[in-house]
Amino acid sequence: MNINQRGSVLITDDVHGILTEGLQKLGYEIDYRPTIPYDDIFPIIQNYVGIIINSKVKMTDQLMGLSPKMKFIGRLGSGLEIIDLEAARKRHIAVFSAPEGNRNAVAEHAMGQLLALSNQLIWADRDVRRMQWDREARRGWELEGKTVGIIGFGNNGSAFAQKLMGFDVHVLAYDKYKTSYSEGYPHVEETSLEHLKLQSDIISLHVPLDNSTHFLIDSNFISKCKDGVIIINSSRGKVVHTEALIAALESGKVGGACLDVFENEKTDTYSDNEALMYQKLYKFNQVILSPHVAGWTVQSKFKIANSLLKQISNLSSK
């Protein structure tokens, strides 16, 4: 098939060149607009047979209705809550994602945040740069012997369990959609969510955002946890109720948190109440923060693009 014979694909975010080059070899014309505003997509969407998106673009029923030629949607990453899957199914639009592309990156990031928290590395680094040498104030605590609860044992949760294997911890795992998933993980025990809450010293979240996980970690959930529990969230911000987390940090019920995602990640849209809430959160020394970059590595950029290319290639060969 000659180049450009298959139609045009709109790419709305920065991607690794293997995807653009590969799509061109498959016969697609590439319209590469990584900085395109969301609203600018509506008047041109009818021109494309495919679209590659990240979190800024919501593929709604309305938007799909404006694109009668659309054959596929490629999600740069894992979260499919930004795509109306029923609307895509109804219109016979294939939906591709690449959760395996950044699973290792997310797991390493969660592990890094946890180790930074337990060893006070952020504050120790700041002390040394200020030529302060207070070793006792920076005494850490070890993971060995701790119980780590993992909620969601898909790509990211299982990868995090793999990283924990060498730390002599006991892992409790809960996944509402799976059973018998811990084979190959001798340190992992499948359990109920209630048991995980009661027994875990550390709880790491690896779930999609849907009606069942929205504000999963709220005041009621936290009240059933161990005193001093550590919360790690590298899944979706709205899985954790921020105000409940802040209250638990203030009381000591939660001993610390590692957060890569937040309820609202658009700082220029904060309400006055949100601004105050986040200012309060940022003041806790026992909280490690990062700007939704857990899956954002040089390697994951390639892996995600390569995964989508393979899936689109399979579709195109049919």
Please identify which of the residues 33, 170, 187, 292 carries the catalytic annotation.
292
Upper half-sphere CA count for residue 12 (Cβ side, 13 Å): 24
Which of 77, 115, 132 minimizes the C-alpha distance to 300?
A: 77
Strand pairing class (254-259; 229-233): parallel
Q: Are 101 and 304 in contact (CB under 8 A)?
A: yes
The CA–CA distances, whole Å, from 289 to 11, 164, 257 equal 30, 21, 8
Please identify which of the residues 189, 236, 250, 274 carries the catalytic annotation.
236
State the Cα–Cα distance between residues 230 and 89, nearest whole angstrom: 40
Q: Helix or strand or coil: residue 141?
A: coil
Q: Does the active-site annotation cover 292?
A: yes
State the Cα–Cα distance between residues 27 and 1, nearest whole angstrom: 6
Please identify which of the residues 21, 142, 194, 265 carries the catalytic annotation.
265
Report the first-to-last Cα separation within the chain, whole angstroms.
13
Q: Does the active-site annotation cover 236?
A: yes
Q: Are 196 and 174 in contact (CB under 8 A)?
A: yes
The catalytic site residues sit at 236, 265, 292
